[in-house]
Amino acid sequence: MKKQLSIFALLFLVVSCNLTGTEDEQEDLTVEITGIYEALFSGDTFVGSSSLRIEKLTHEEVRIIPHSSASYPSFSAKVERLANGNFGFKIANQEVSGGSIVGGEFPSLPGYNGGVIVSDNQVVYKIIFTKNGVDEEVQTVSTEKVDDIDEDGTCENGIQDGDETGIDCGGTCSQCEESPTSFIDTLKTASSGSMFWAIGFYNNQIGLAYSRNAVENTLFKTSDGGENWTPFNSPTTSIVREIHFLNETNVLLVADDGVYRSDTGGLTWSPDTTLAYSYSIYIIDEQHAVAASGSYILSYSEDGGVTWAESAIDETFNAGAERSFHFVEEGIGYVTFRNGSDAKVYVYKTNDYGKSWTYVSQPLTGSVTVTHFQDENIGFMGGEFEGIIKTIDGGATWSIVEGVESSNNVIYFRDGIGIVGGSYLFTTKDNGLTWEEPSELNPLSAQAFSAIDNVIFIATQQHILKISLNDIK
């Protein structure tokens, strides 16, 4: 089945059920809706069959989850009983994976922007999914309900939630078995309609995470390794892309409308006028940092990001927004970027903390989201390369890594153990020679990560995860 690259989604939902049932003296409007459906999807860029899952969030709210093969976003919808005894759906404007959706009006039901249930085994909806400013209207019609899921919809959703002690097990679900994903802890779950976008940790205890929905932008801080999180408002209504700790109290935040600085550990913020706009920042140590600022500019700082100077580059380039830094030794680092002029990926190297950069690779076809070098010669790059690619000659040449099939936002190695995460998670114990996929964890939908020695904190769309490389077996 082809992958759908959808872009905006207008919503009608249609399924007819005789929904009954109460819980805690409140009628559960979702009891007969939850389940797995075969479905046909049609849009500007995709027509094909896949499956659809409807899961309970509360007595009157569900999450609609198209199968990952269709690449449509999941979203929440409120269920209400109609005068004729059927059920209507209301969909609030909400941020979703890769963009946002807005509900559309169902013609025969004024005020209901989702739709109406019309039969036991059929769901019909349209959504307008907006991505990068482009809209696509997609219609989905289920042909058959193929399976029920557990009463509250949480024991088969591929995530650890509710009272579960593992992914879809423990608590009110079936007993957990010993799992190869026991190296993963779920620290926090996003609220309904929200998703995580960015994360940054200073050490294994102190960190910040950012989530967003249609009406709220929220930063969360932990001082105990993710056991507890304190929410407070983001300094901007724009999307936050990166969070970087210079030290325990000084933090830089990269958003779509500029860079913000905190000298209170993230509790208060002010715009950073010295680096007004940046696509990406990399903290080398407490004094040194580099940044990609504007279409043609790389910058460096030698005073903890207080002041910045423009780097020297051995040729002109037009980098656009797709850039990734990584440093391996004192002063030695790499930047990879996609050239906006020819849509190729280029690799540059620095030996002086980013003061100057030298071109080291041939142009690569694809796009780049993350770069990780193990040393001055061996490196990995993730993006749109049919997985990840690897160099053993300092970035001069690259080849596809077999066994990893995933678009990626996470690559991290330490002492021969590594992970790759994006739409799926892969692990290696032999420095990338062979890879394993812990299938019960996937799909992962990793957005961002922050690594502290052998511990990696990952922000997926719905969860903050903690992964210990020492526990990968």
Quick check: 220 pLDDT over 90? yes
- For residues 196 and 335, membership in a common domain is answered with yes
Give the CATH number, domain containing residue 115. 2.40.128
Give the CATH number, domain containing residue 464. 2.130.10.10
Q: Mean pLDDT: which of 130-139, 215-224, 396-405 is highest? A: 215-224
Encoded tokens for 423? 């739409």
Higher pLDDT pick, 386 / 311: 311
CB atoms within 10 A of CB 321: 13
Quick check: 370 pLDDT over 80? yes
What was the pLDDT predicted at 15? 36
The C-alpha atoms of residue 81 and residue 18 are separated, in whole angstroms, by 11
Encoded tokens for 242? 């990166």
- For residues 342 and 391, membership in a common domain is answered with yes
What is the pLDDT averaged over residues 414-439?
A: 84
Q: What is the 3-state secondary structure (H, E, C) of 218-279?
A: EEEEECCCCCCCEEEECCCCCCEEEEEECCCCCEEEEECCEEEEECCCCCCCEECHHHCCCC
Q: Of 221-235, 241-255, 267-281, 432-446, where does mean pLDDT reach its minimum?
A: 432-446
Quick check: 30 pLDDT over 50? yes
What was the pLDDT predicted at 457? 94
- For residues 102 and 225, membership in a common domain is answered with no
What was the pLDDT predicted at 14? 38
What was the pLDDT predicted at 23? 41
- For residues 394 and 263, membership in a common domain is answered with yes
**410-to-182, 424, 444, 456, 461 alpha-carbon distances in Å:** 19, 10, 11, 10, 13
Category of 192 on φ-ψ map: left (φ > 0), alpha (ψ -120 to 50) or beta: beta
What was the pLDDT predicted at 116? 47
The C-alpha atoms of residue 309 and residue 300 are separated, in whole angstroms, by 6
- For residues 368 and 449, membership in a common domain is answered with yes
- For residues 136 and 275, membership in a common domain is answered with no
- For residues 135 and 216, membership in a common domain is answered with no
Instruction: Give the list of residues 6+ apart from residue 107 with CB closer than 8 angstroms, or none.
Output: none
List the domain range (segments joined by +) for residue 78.
Answer: 22-146
Inside any domain, residue 166: no
- pLDDT tens-place string over residues 88-114: 778 788 887 667 888 766 666 666 665
What was the pLDDT predicted at 48? 74
Q: Of 374-378, 438-442, 468-472, where does mean pLDDT reach its minimum?
A: 438-442
Buried/exposed code over 38-69 (b: 16+ C-beta within 10 A; e: otherwise): bbebebeebeeebbbbbbbbebbbbbbbbbbb
Quick check: 34 pLDDT over 90? no
Find how far residue 333's CA is from the centre of its chain. Answer: 26
- For residues 230 and 289, membership in a common domain is answered with yes
Quick check: 249 pLDDT over 60? yes
Which stretches of 242-386 are DSSP H helices? none
How many domains does the chain contain in total?
2
Higher pLDDT pick, 24 / 54: 54
Inside any domain, residue 9: no
What is the pLDDT averaged over residues 173-198?
A: 73
- For residues 268 and 389, membership in a common domain is answered with yes
Inside any domain, residue 162: no
The partner residues of 372 in beta bridges, in order of sequence, read 380
Single residue among 97, 128, 146 that ends a domain in this structure: 146
What is the pLDDT averaged over residues 204-208?
A: 95
The C-alpha atoms of residue 391 and residue 293 are separated, in whole angstroms, by 26
pLDDT band at 319; cut points 50, 70, 90: low
Quick check: 439 pLDDT over 50? yes
Inside any domain, residue 12: no
Single residue among 91, 121, 146 that ends a domain in this structure: 146
Buried/exposed code over 95-127 (b: 16+ C-beta within 10 A; e: otherwise): bbbbbbbbbbebeebeebbbbbbeeeebbbbbb
Inside any domain, residue 352: yes
Inside any domain, residue 164: no
Percent of the chain residues past pLDDT 90, beyond the cut: 20
Quick check: 203 pLDDT over 90? yes
- For residues 142 and 249, membership in a common domain is answered with no
Which SS3 state, helix, strand or coil, does residue 30 take?
coil
Measuring CA to CA, which residue among 148, 149, 154 is closest to residue 166? 154
- For residues 134 and 268, membership in a common domain is answered with no
- For residues 231 and 278, membership in a common domain is answered with yes
What was the pLDDT predicted at 10? 32
Peptide bond into 443 cis (omega under 30): yes
- pTM, two decimals, is 0.62
Inside any domain, residue 165: no
Inside any domain, residue 10: no
What was the pLDDT predicted at 112? 66
Single residue among 98, 121, 146 that ends a domain in this structure: 146
What was the pLDDT predicted at 198? 94
What is the pLDDT averaged over residues 382-404?
A: 84
What was the pLDDT predicted at 400? 86
At 6, the amino acid letter reads S
What was the pLDDT predicted at 274? 76
Q: Is 152 exposed, middle or buried (0-12, 13-18, 19+ CB in 10 A)?
A: buried
- Indicate the average pLDDT of the chain: 78
